[in-house]
Chains A and B, each alone.
Chain A
């Protein structure tokens, strides 16, 4: 006989029918979550396209981002993937002759021509009847927004069947932290010193390549960070399900160039998104279709302060007027893309 105290009918119950898994789907994996809902990075069977022993710095965001993207692409294409690499950190630290860290077919030619080489590889595979083998081109912000921009624009304009991924660490890190077209305002680099009324990189210049890509009205443009792995992998997967020219822009913090702690790489990528300075969105044929809303917005100071490239803004006295101008950029992003959490 069931004792009375076990009888659920004796008191009113509030039933909580919530599917709730402690860390939900924010963490890389989750033992409580079905394996299909975990990220590829949680899988013991992930490709590790960029394997151990590479010479990237401690806490390198680009090495992490490249493995995240390529492992997801390898899964999406069932292993039928060729990677083409522009010159840059990623190429240098992964392939000092005769070693290679790549565990997939990988090709490097020049700094500027990765998009063109990728177009050529795609055309060659097509000519051979290998439509199932897909092509992914990748480079840093130097190779993408500056040196390779003409080739990239051509690839977009021809709608070649390539996913181009830019790992944006906001300067030429490999050669000693020189400013690129992607370096944000007031950031100190070797070529933009922290002196004068407007110290560091100039404001109001630089190139917003995701929007340049959108202007080509290609099928798919997206931005992502190494802090939101589920979001990043979903975008790679979506891109690999399409044909034509696709562009993915991934923010990858650089401890060396940003003057940040190696352990803070993911945290800074998260703060970039949460401050509004790095909008995370998807676009189709030139129109924004989806944004990652900001969960718990933070003032830009929280993102900038841990980075020594902005140390001059927090000197005594702090450059509040310059900080306000950076905050205005974040505010504009939030308004432009509708990043406020509903």
Chain B
């Protein structure tokens, strides 16, 4: 070849020079575990469904959501959203309103009539679910999706358990509950209401596996000296009757005794039933109150008053005496010796609920400790093939926890039915706030959900918290930082000085070209969401 004067070599591209050989660390795309997912008792993949919602793909988002939870519209109303408490965005401005977006998706699904995914092919296995509360329904849904035949038996006339009899309608309108349960049952689940299971041993021969989720509905017994004429009601009765459309007569001055969510719901219900004064009496301090903060705040906004560090000593007719308490050094309340008289037309007891475990009395290998049924890590009781979950096993009692139990039990039951080893959740690295490069995120204040004006919140049972309109739901979804999971911002592709990040079709949309990557780590540091890890080269 003819070359110019003094030129001995042909022009070559630097592409011949594989600078990847310099590398001591290599960038790797990872999916870290966002705090919202980690803290969701129902095990929802929150970040993944928010990702779909961010570009308005609400049906895709909803489908990701219902893989873990068949009740988004219920959940978006009654969940105490520990996901938002854990949300990394709270350290920037305010947590993402995950719960409000979930409700929006749930309501969208109802609006458009989206159907749940069809069950897998029949496996020929039969499972019995005892109890049609959140836990039982969740287990039934998941087992049916896996192709098992499912029969639910419930002592109540209508399904829903505590969602129907315990949660007031101003938090969960019953048509929402009915629609979401009915949608689930159309998958071919055999629901038998008004059917109490009394002897479990007798049922075992007809089924390959059993999931117990009868909940906790027995009002906790506590001895309170009371006059014959004193009017004392159980909170669960008040809530159940009210939810059923009755208006129990509570009088003008109502005292609710207890500090849990049931106490708050009972006090808020009392206000709506016409009580001018609803006073919660609780023996410890607000900090030690088991009720969720949201419930306490809503109750106080509705004029419910609180009397901390107090116990009821005696209930008379229209009056009761209350003793002031002090916390001792262990944090336990002790009587301080001061007694005060209060007026009260009705005392509503909300001192906790116990489990009716009589149905396992015929199964001696099912262990019961402190009144609750013991289960192993696979949610199985001591009796092979009998699983349990929800409020009847040791755990925080909430709808969300129940749904999580149902899902976890269903997956373990499925493995057990197939003779497969129990499914193991892979350990994942947490997507902590420190791993984010928050510089890139836009400032965006939290969207506030509309709330019913205060006057209506004490006069009728209209739902208190409203939903988001589509614009605001989209906005709120886009506030998600996508912690630990790539959201396609192109930073890695743009900041690599060596063009060693490629755009591809695939899970992450990007790939590292290790022929040229020098391992500088710029992509990892500039990744807003911490989805790139630097790993040492081994060879």
Contact = CB atoms under 8 A, between A and B. Distances in A.
Nearest to B23: A58
Nearest to B469: A13
Interface string A311-334: 000000000000000000000000
A270 interface: yes
Interface residues on B, range: 35 or more
Contacts of A30: 488-490
A262 interface: yes
A56 B13 CA distance: 15
Given A23-B441, A58-B519, A6 B111 contact: yes
Contacts of A51: 13-15, 499
Interface in B487-501: 487-491, 493-500
A342 to B, nearest CB: 14
B52 to A, nearest CB: 12
B463 interface: yes
Contacts, number: 209
B175 A5 contact: yes
Nearest to A270: B439
Given A12-B466, A53-B18, 7 more contacts: A13-B450, A16-B447, A17-B471, A23-B528, A39-B490, A99-B14, A264-B525
A100 B11 contact: yes
Contacts of A12: 450, 453, 466
The dominant DSSP class at the B interface is: loop
A108 interface: no
Interface string A56-79: 101111011001000000000000
A175 interface: no
Contact of A59 (B18, B493, B521): B521
B478 A32 contact: yes
Contact of A52 (B451, B466, B498): B498
Interface string B511-538: 0010110111110111010000010000
Contacts of B444: 18, 20
B518 A58 contact: yes
Interface of B: 9-19, 22, 54-55, 107, 110-111, 173, 175-176, 179, 439-442, 444, 447-448, 450-453, 462-463, 466-467, 469, 471-472, 475, 478-482, 487-491, 493-500, 503, 513, 515-516, 518-522, 524-526, 528, 534
A260 to B, nearest CB: 11
Interface of A: 2-6, 8, 10-18, 20-24, 26-32, 38-39, 41-42, 44, 48, 50-56, 58-61, 63-64, 67, 94, 97-101, 229, 255, 261-267, 270
A31 B15 CA distance: 30
Contacts of A28: 489-491, 493-495
Contact of A11 (B16, B441, B451, B521): B451
A114 B528 CA distance: 38
Contacts of A4: 173, 175
